[in-house]
Structure 1
């Protein structure tokens, strides 16, 4: 089993002191809209790699490239735009800590800000993600689809900002992950339940945090501890 700590949207200060964790996680997942230094602190504290996707309140990370000589944007040297040492899984599939993770950040477009997409734009990004996932490991399915927004009708809201993406449904049918891990929809004192999306995928809102165990390559997972919001 791989122990995962998934966080999103609201900073839980106690976690930065290791309070509230059942055991140190093997992997940190960031589902967006968190200070990058918060992800860095959790990764350093737990001595665990961090995989993240950007949310609609995060900075625009498009166009940055990491090479042997360091980070560049538009061919010019620059500094790391994201959390130091973390892996940006937006639009690609990575294997970290034994887990195969596909990522797709952002929310529905509701203003001119970064990391916002129409359903058509996100559908195209999802198609590219499926293509890259097939290239990296053939028909092997991801253990986790890490997103910022939920799928439409599965734990989302009706306002323009917090509506989920319709295009996530065919994406989930294609990728067939064990878990869809998302943030974006704040619980505001409620306890959002995990929901089925597709035939076998569980959608999990991790605003605040959720610590869970998952067996790579299987459908086996178990929630260990969670907190709905800060």
Structure 2
């Protein structure tokens, strides 16, 4: 299964007449936020696969809910073809606009997600495969400014629930030498700015994934 993960920046290689040809073999799209609605609508219309998304701090209040095939992951656990996805939107609070949260606020959002995670464990025998957020975890892929710091509760979630992957955006990558993929406990944390193609090999059940390739596009 191939996933097209996008975040924060419109890429001309996606937003082109060759979109369908280049990405015809992806099974779904995951947006980590801060992308305009028309861009995501263009991708969905061309590839005709489901879109799963969380809002970034620059997204409008009601955006992307009307997209064909669009599922807002914020505060939800969704099973897609045996892969368990969970999402938490937004960035650290800095000016009071929508989709901004203090560390305490995000901890409470995590608490609200807990019943679904425990239900997933009961029903599917594991908690989570992919955690999708806009911001990174604390200490991973952060920038120097306060706005682009990560949430501490994401580190706790990764340690406790062992998702295979944590996909995020928010921190922009302008240098090819910047790291976009790093391990945290048993999880691979991937910065999806501008886009990544993540190729999962499938084992006997939803837990048995191996990553056979990440195509980086900066």
- Give TM-score scaled by structure 1 length: 0.84
Residues 210 and 223 in structure 1, CA contact (< 8 A), matched pair in contact too = no
Q: Deviations over 1:85-110 (max 9, x none)?
A: 30000011111243210101100001
Secondary structure of residue in 2 paired with 1:146: strand
- Shift of the 219–130 alpha-carbon distance from structure 1 to 2, 3 Å rule, reads farther
Q: Indicate the residue corresponding to 1:114 in structure 2.
A: 98
**Of 83, 103, 106, which aligns to 2:87?**
103
Aligned 1:52-201 pairs, distance under 5 A: 52-61=53-62, 81-138=65-122, 139-190=125-176, 191-197=178-184, 199-201=185-187
Secondary structure of residue in 1 paired with 2:86: strand
Secondary structure of residue in 1 paired with 2:146: coil
How many angstroms does 1:54 deviate by? 0.4
Question: Separation in 2 of the partners of 1:176 and 1:18?
Answer: 37
Q: Deviations over 1:55-102 (max 9, x none)?
A: 0001224xxxxxxxxxxxxxxxxx974533300000111112432101
Question: Separation in 1 of the partners of 2:151 and 2:99?
Answer: 14
Give me the CA root mean square deviation: 2.0
Uncovered stretches (5+) of structure 1, i.e. residues with no partner: 62-78
Residues 9 and 208 in structure 1, CA contact (< 8 A), matched pair in contact too = yes
Q: Indicate the residue corresponding to 2:46 in structure 1.
A: 45
Residues 178 and 218 in structure 1, CA contact (< 8 A), matched pair in contact too = no
| Structure with the higher fraction of residues in helix conformation | 2
Q: Indicate the residue corresponding to 1:223 in structure 2.
A: 213
Question: Separation in 2 of the partners of 1:126 and 1:95?
Answer: 18
Question: Separation in 2 of the partners of 1:82 and 1:137?
Answer: 30
How many angstroms does 1:137 deviate by? 4.6
Uncovered stretches (5+) of structure 2, i.e. residues with no partner: none
Question: Separation in 1 of the partners of 2:65 and 2:86?
Answer: 20
Residues 31 and 52 in structure 1, CA contact (< 8 A), matched pair in contact too = yes
Secondary structure of residue in 2 paired with 1:167: helix
Secondary structure of residue in 1 paired with 2:97: coil
Question: Separation in 2 of the partners of 1:223 and 1:128?
Answer: 34
